[in-house]
Amino acid sequence: MYTYFDYTYLDINKPLATQWLFVLVIYFLLFGEIFQLYNISNSNDRFLVLKSIVLTAISTTLFYVFSPYITPSLPLNRLEILYFFFIISIPVLIWRFLYIAFLFSPKYFKNIIVIGSAVNSEALLKLIKRKKMHKVLAYVSNNKINGFENYFNTLDVDLLTLVENQPVSELIVSTKGFSEEEILDLNKHLIPLFKKGINIKSFEKYYEEITDSVPKEYLNNNFYQNINFSQNNDNRFYLFVNTIIDSIVSIVGLVLLLGILPIVFIGNLIGNRGPLFYFQDRVGKKGKTFKIVKLRSMVPNAEKNGAVWASKNDSRITLFGKFLRNTRLDEVPQFYNILKGDMNLIGPRPERPEFVKGLEEKIPFYGIRHVVRPGLTGWAQVNYPYASTVEDQETKLRYDLYYIKERNFFLDFKIIIKTITTVLFFRGQ
């Protein structure tokens, strides 16, 4: 006879308990990543934390109870499923709120001092303030910057004394805008600090760490000193595994497309009133063009006046087309392009030849993104919204270059998870 408070579902004394706990951890970590439970930028927002934990716990519970071959069999007392949900969610909720109250506090942030010209320092200081990740103890510059305290002038500051009187974790240094004489003088002050064990980073390196994109300063005539292929670019095992995964996912994707095609056809007939598919030239690896295939989301003859970038609230997008874009269903036919070898599952998004020509003229290093195959999804795609201006395109380029430079299995996995998150929360284009 069961009572309301009996709990035998996940018994750690059973022989398979280790396997059950391992599967539970995997599920929780996976869904935690999907629902941004580990996103540090959300860590100080109690509502976002609660939302992430609840969604993670619900998804983990559902998948756990419905995969009984690798998890315990469903309990006779169905209330135990609810207890299981509370067991995996409440401790995490308590820990996160304690973290917000005691650990996610400015006094536990990394303490840094920024050294650089006012122009460079202002942009970096605003970025740090927006990210809310580190605490700026002081900044050393040639001019005072509005909105930021603890200013020290580069001409009369004693860096050694400044650092010794502050609990400094890192020095962030930018020499851009300094004369050769000023740089030599700065180095004389930095060397003793380096000897004392103070961590010193360049602005560019620090920028990469906190934004996961390459800084604008890399896009100059010496770009080859800072932007190189990832070691995995020639790694046969990495490339082979990627090819296998691309092929399997594409086949599954096309099968799913066949399953939903009747529904999409009816929706297109009512909401779009035109061809179901459309084909368009895109630029691929090494600048070669290919025909991309998508489900049409715009009105017929949307570009009768010439090619125009799509914008977030583009009037050319139909009501049904907006649904296709938000859910990314309009992209599903591109699995055909992946099987053909025109694209990868992950890579820079392929752009149209008309746009590429203009962008290469305005952004001299734009063509670098064509050194790898374009992708169905990519690092720029999941980190940056619509790019409807040249400035937006340059920002997206810097995310693409970061991917090319850092390409690896873990980064690919993060992109897949972020793509799933984008689809689930309707953040698609």
Residues composing the chain:
429
Burial readout 402-422 (b: 16 or more C-beta within 10 A, e: otherwise): bbbbbbeeebbeebbbbbbbb
Tell me the average pLDDT of the chain: 86
Q: Please, are residues 117 and 178 in contact by the beta-carbon 8 Å criterion?
A: yes
- Partner residues linked to 135 by β-bridges: 111
Burial class of residue 392 (count of CB atoms within 10 Å of its CB; 0-12, 13-18, 19+): middle
The phi, psi pair for 110, rounded to 5°, reads: -70, 130
pLDDT at 159 over 50: yes
Q: Please, are residues 420 and 377 in contact by the beta-carbon 8 Å criterion?
A: no
Q: Please, are residues 169 and 200 in contact by the beta-carbon 8 Å criterion?
A: no
How far apart are the C-alpha atoms of 128 and 133, rounded to whole Å? Answer: 7
Calculate what percentage of the chain has a pLDDT beyond 70. Answer: 91
The phi, psi pair for 279, rounded to 5°, reads: -115, 140
pLDDT computed for residue 44 by the predictor: 63
How far apart are the C-alpha atoms of 319 and 297, rounded to whole Å? Answer: 8
pLDDT computed for residue 275 by the predictor: 87
Contacts of 290 (CB under 8 A, 6+ apart): 281, 282, 284, 337, 340, 342, 350
- Region 266-292: mean pLDDT is 91
Lowest mean pLDDT among 146-155, 297-306, 365-374, 384-393: 297-306
CB atoms within 10 A of CB 296: 20
* Residue ranges of domains in the chain: 17-103, 106-211, 231-424
Calculate what percentage of the chain has a pLDDT beyond 90. Answer: 34
Q: Please, are residues 273 and 300 in contact by the beta-carbon 8 Å criterion?
A: yes
Burial class of residue 311 (count of CB atoms within 10 Å of its CB; 0-12, 13-18, 19+): middle
Q: How confident is the model at residue 182 (pLDDT cuts 50, 70, 90)?
A: confident
Q: Is the dihedral of CA 377, 383, 389, 391 positive or negative?
A: negative
Residue 359, token pair as written in the block: 């962008």
pLDDT at 400 over 90: yes
pLDDT computed for residue 380 by the predictor: 93
Find out if CATH 3.40.50.300 is the number for domain 106-211.
no
pLDDT at 305 over 50: yes
Q: How confident is the model at residue 1 (pLDDT cuts 50, 70, 90)?
A: very low
Cut 0.85: pTM above it: no
- Region 171-177: mean pLDDT is 87
